[in-house]
Amino acid sequence: MNDPRLQPDQVRAMRAMLVAHVEEGAAPARRRYAVRAGFGALAVGALAAVVAVVTVVVSPGDPADSPNAPGMLRAAADATADPEPADGQFLRIATSASHLAITSVDGSVDTAIGYVDSQVRDVYLAADGTVEPVATTTSVEPTVFFGAGAQQFAAESWNGDDDVVVVPASLGADLTRPVEDQSAIPRDPDALLVYLIEYRYQAGSSDENVFAHVVGLLRTGNVASDLRAALYRALALMPSIVITEEEATLDGREGTAIGLRGADGDTRQEIVIDPSTGEYIGVRRVTIDGFGEIPPGTALEYTALSTSVVDSVPR
């Protein structure tokens, strides 16, 4: 008899598609952005359910030497695991998205103002496959502003919508569509690091390319615990990976932020991990020097993911 339960690859594929949907739709279109050289696109990132934590400001300077980064990553790798719902229960996948919506006065970046634009989506997957997935979306009204005029900017441009929907059955046809063939990715840390170095994920130095690839995998939300552990151990082999903040708060959860030592440019990308559980909390990009009314160390964007087991779903 066929097992009606959602299989791990189906859960991961569903999760990846839903996360992609959030990242494509969470940020409303803006007419006015001040984009500083070196930012790249201000893609959707992540938010905590408690908006106040969005204002976390990290050290704007170059990261200090961090001999504890390899040890932290290996400890996280040893602890990481996936939740396992039983029949009648649901896997809840929470995706929080936040980015800094910015505009300028008279087109000058030196006078940029902004506010935090946020959205939270929860997806519920039935372990036994008897109930169609349910997704809830909640827009969070802006409460964090930078600079005089930011509140007026938010009032003119923010448009929050909430909904509860049953995911269409047609989505099931895409369950086997891979984001990346994870079965072909090595689990041995040394072999994995070679794979990541040789895989040209994006432009940039070898270390930047590897780090961006790891970020790209983790933020999809469909990385199983064995691969997640291997990614942590591969990063532990890189001397350029350092702890940038030992007690980082993202999505209302505390973890340790890691990034690249002495990264060039105006921003630094960081992964936040809970070393005690191995949970990937999220990824954030911070401005090192600040600009206009945006202070140094402000998170320009971040994405957070969490999974848990629940007994019911909203209707």
* Helices 189-198/225-236 angle, 10° precision: 80
If residue 24 lies in a helix (H) or strand (E), which one and from where to where? Answer: helix 8-25
Position 133 scores a pLDDT of 82
Beta bridge partners of 299: 286
Report which of 273, 233, 305 is spatially closest to residue 77, judged by C-alpha positions: 233
Asked if 145 and 115 touch (Cβ cutoff 8 Å), the reply is yes
Return the C-alpha torsion angle 206, 208, 211, 216, nearest 10. -110
Inter-CA distances, 58 with 4, 47, 175, 255, 301, Å: 46, 16, 38, 13, 13
Element spanning 18, H or E? helix 8-25
Per the rule left: phi > 0, alpha: psi between -120 and 50, beta: everything else, 124 is beta
Q: How far is CA 219 from the centre of its chain?
A: 5
Report d(CA 46, CA 300) in Å as an integer.
10
Residue from 5, 306, 20 nearest 179 by CA: 20
pLDDT for the residue 277: 93
Neighbours of 49 (CB within 10 A): 15
User: Given this model, what pLDDT does residue 264 score?
Assistant: 59
Question: Distance between alpha carbon 259 and the CA centroid of its chain, in Å?
Answer: 14
pTM for this prediction: 0.73
- Residues with Cβ within 8 Å of 195's Cβ and at least 6 positions away in sequence, in order, are 185, 186
From first to last of its 315 residues, what are the pLDDT tens digits of the chain? 444 444 555 445 544 544 444 444 444 333 343 332 222 222 222 222 222 223 334 444 444 445 589 999 999 999 999 888 888 898 888 888 888 888 877 777 777 899 988 888 888 888 887 788 888 888 888 888 999 889 998 988 887 766 665 555 444 334 334 457 888 899 999 999 999 999 877 767 889 889 999 998 888 777 889 999 999 999 999 999 999 889 888 878 999 999 987 655 788 889 999 999 999 999 998 888 888 888 888 888 888 988 889 998 887
pLDDT of residue 123: 83
